Amino acid sequence: MANFDQVIQEILSKTPLVDLIGMDVRLQRKGSDFVGLCPFHQEKTPSFNVSEIKNYYHCFGCGAHGNAINYVMNKSNIPFKEAITILAAKAGVQLPRFDGSTPGKRKPNQNQQLVEIHQIANEYFHATLLNGENSSPARRYLQNRQISKQVVEQFSLGYCDGKLNKQLLSLGYSQDILVQSGLVIKDEKNKTLRDRFFNRLMFPIFDIQNRTIAFGGRIIGEASPHAPKYLNSSDTPIFHKGYNLYNLSQAVKHAKSAPLILVEGYIDVIAMVSHGFPQAVASLGTALTESQVEILWKYSDRPILCFDGDSAGIHASIRVVRKLVPILRPGKTLFFCYLPKDLDPDELLRTRDASVMQQCLDRAFPFADVLWRDLVSKYEQKNANRERWIPEDKAALKMDVLNTIKLIRNSELQGQYKQLFLEKLDALHKPGTKIKPVSNCVRLSSQLKPQKSLGPKILLGIILRKPIVLQYVDELLALVEYSDSNLLEIKDWLLSSSCDSLSDATFLQQCDIFLNVIGIKSLQVHAPFAFEENISTDFIVKRWREIWFCTIGYSTIKRDFRLIGNDLKKSFDEKSWEQMKALFSNIGSFN
């Protein structure tokens, strides 16, 4: 007799899922999949997908997901044993005995156990990060990335110390279910268990019902050269990478007031949410799939995909455009946001501010624009130095355009794209007309500047929240110029205060009054570390100096370099040389 796993696989292979579900649901082919109204919840628009190739189903509305066995169990509300008995009879497969002698015996509440295991793991990882003996490197990493304790709680971040498998075994879960969860790996040679995510910062992934179903883990400290920086849960009966998005359950709460924003990684999402963009989500370590786009469209008609402004980001966006042309339909589209070169969302928000990110989002390009630029760019480059395009290139471009448009499955939208692109072709063929290649579409983003008044305001706010910082940065604060009379008054008051009074009740009360003048909300968004209770003075001073350098010091040093450079052109004397060395030393202190 084959083992139980082999029997299950034989049953599934002999049970065409489309035929099985088609007995209850009217399915229509859509590309390589089938769609219909979900049998597990009431809906008017089909969101229930069945994959004929992969032999599983997924509902984008309620999150129902599984194979033929899951379907029979949930549809008929029967246990696992009864479901496979029914399917085995239909498929002509002989089942092993359902008793303790069957090594591969499965419990009827398998999926529920997997959900329980992931919830327990989430709580264990989170507690370990906050209080674990070996988790201090992970806490330092978060501190260096300016991720506050409040954000750690909000996203339920954790740390895997390698002891999860023992914890779960002590709670009565079998080795088989732990291995199936993907959280534990079994060494077949010596039959020992180990945690898959050992020594990683853990990012729990929730489904739309806010249940923990998977994890992403970032390596902490030194690791094997072959170990990936980020590791994601493998697919399980309750999780499939291509059908989920990080932070989706929270982001959809804000999707009615703002479009969903897709960024690349977990840290990027956390940075976006922390800086006032709660509608941010991320894919899960894979290229964006059609299914993930369908999820975005379910909650947002015009989601924004955010890419780095370098060549890799541009090429990635073009790959997405080319892949998604067939599934475009009326009322649903995508916009493409390109960040300044060499900056991802986290770096942009840490080194500039939320207003710069908002400017990038406001200038996002429609799907049609990015597709057109990609189609025309190679021909434009060939004809860059000509008054007129040569006929061969005109014809080749038109063929490319028409062939691409034919890929759009919706006939109405296909007609709209054809009309738009033929108009663009007519305009392009006029003498002297030039179209910028795709790479130029990010140049505007590279020129974006932060609001001038925000940085100096934040510098004051940090000191008002943590007055002890003043005695370390008073000389730098004196260099900050304020045009706002209220801010100037606060600056002068702080500089005139004695170090002995920084902890007085009266002084602290006045700090709170001035903090309301500045606006506590912007400080919470742009300097959340200032609200941490257990945070070192050295860290706050370091962050204050970094902000000063980015907003004040850089322009000051640049000006001083220019002045000293002019002096050196006239005469290379010892005084100018010493001034130049002092400037380099000043820059080095901020690295």
Q: Give me the CATH topology for the region 248-450.
A: Dna Topoisomerase Vi A Subunit; Chain: A, domain 2 (3.40.1360)
High-pLDDT (> 70) share of the chain, %: 83
Q: Which two tokens stand for residue 68?
A: 């033929």
Q: How confident is the model at residue 582 (pLDDT cuts 50, 70, 90)?
A: low
* Statement: residue 420 has pLDDT above 80: yes
- Provide the pairing of β-strand 56-59 with 48-51: antiparallel
Residue pair 508/254 in contact by the 8 Å Cβ criterion: no
Lowest mean pLDDT among 147-161, 339-353, 379-393: 379-393
Please provide the DSSP assignment of 407-476 as one string: T---HHHHHHHHHHHHHHHHHHTSTT-----GGGGGHHHHT----TTHHHHHHHHHHHH-GGGHHHHHHH
For 170-182, what is the mean pLDDT?
Answer: 92
pLDDT tens digits along 280-332: 999 987 788 888 999 999 999 999 999 887 777 888 889 999 999 999 999 99
pLDDT tens digits along 486-495: 888 888 888 8
- Mean pLDDT, rounded, of the chain: 82
Q: Which two tokens stand for residue 435?
A: 């179209």
Residue pair 262/303 in contact by the 8 Å Cβ criterion: yes
For 54-77, what is the mean pLDDT?
Answer: 83
- Provide the pairing of β-strand 304-307 with 261-263: parallel
Residue pair 119/179 in contact by the 8 Å Cβ criterion: no
* Statement: residue 57 has pLDDT above 80: yes
pLDDT tens digits along 462-481: 988 888 888 888 878 887 87
Taking the CB of residue 88, how many other CB atoms lie within 10 A of it? Answer: 18
More confident residue, 106 or 224: 224
pLDDT tens digits along 15-43: 888 888 888 888 888 877 889 999 888 88
Domain 110-239 has CATH 3.30.565.10: no
Residue pair 532/524 in contact by the 8 Å Cβ criterion: no
* Statement: residue 561 has pLDDT above 70: no
Q: Give me the CATH topology for the region 4-91.
A: DNA Primase; Chain A (3.90.580)
Residue pair 69/87 in contact by the 8 Å Cβ criterion: yes
Give CA torsion, residues 292, 293, 298, 300, to 10 deg: 120
* Statement: residue 205 has pLDDT above 90: yes
Residues in the chain: 591
Residue 433 confidence (pLDDT): 53
Q: How confident is the model at residue 450 (pLDDT cuts 50, 70, 90)?
A: very low
Residue 266 confidence (pLDDT): 95
For 422-436, what is the mean pLDDT?
Answer: 68
pLDDT tens digits along 249-266: 999 999 988 999 999 899
Q: Which two tokens stand for residue 534?
A: 């257990």
Residue 64 confidence (pLDDT): 82
Cα R_g (the chain), whole angstroms: 29
Q: How confident is the model at residue 99 (pLDDT cuts 50, 70, 90)?
A: very low
Quote the crossing angle between the two packed helices 391-405 and 411-428, to the nearest 10°.
160
Amino acid at site 40? F
Gap between the Cα atoms of 503 and 501, Å rounded = 6
Domain locations in the chain as residue ranges: 4-91, 110-239, 248-450, 454-588
Gap between the Cα atoms of 260 and 280, Å rounded = 6
- Provide the pairing of β-strand 200-206 with 212-219: antiparallel
More confident residue, 470 or 127: 127
More confident residue, 63 or 134: 134
* Statement: residue 65 has pLDDT above 60: yes
Q: How confident is the model at residue 528 (pLDDT cuts 50, 70, 90)?
A: confident
Lowest mean pLDDT among 181-190, 402-411, 566-575: 566-575
Q: How confident is the model at residue 575 (pLDDT cuts 50, 70, 90)?
A: low
* Statement: residue 129 has pLDDT above 90: yes
* Statement: residue 437 has pLDDT above 60: no
For 234-248, what is the mean pLDDT?
Answer: 90
For 563-570, what is the mean pLDDT?
Answer: 60
Residue 233 confidence (pLDDT): 93
* Statement: residue 529 has pLDDT above 60: yes
More confident residue, 39 or 563: 39
For 446-460, what is the mean pLDDT?
Answer: 64
High-pLDDT (> 90) share of the chain, %: 32
More confident residue, 393 or 304: 304
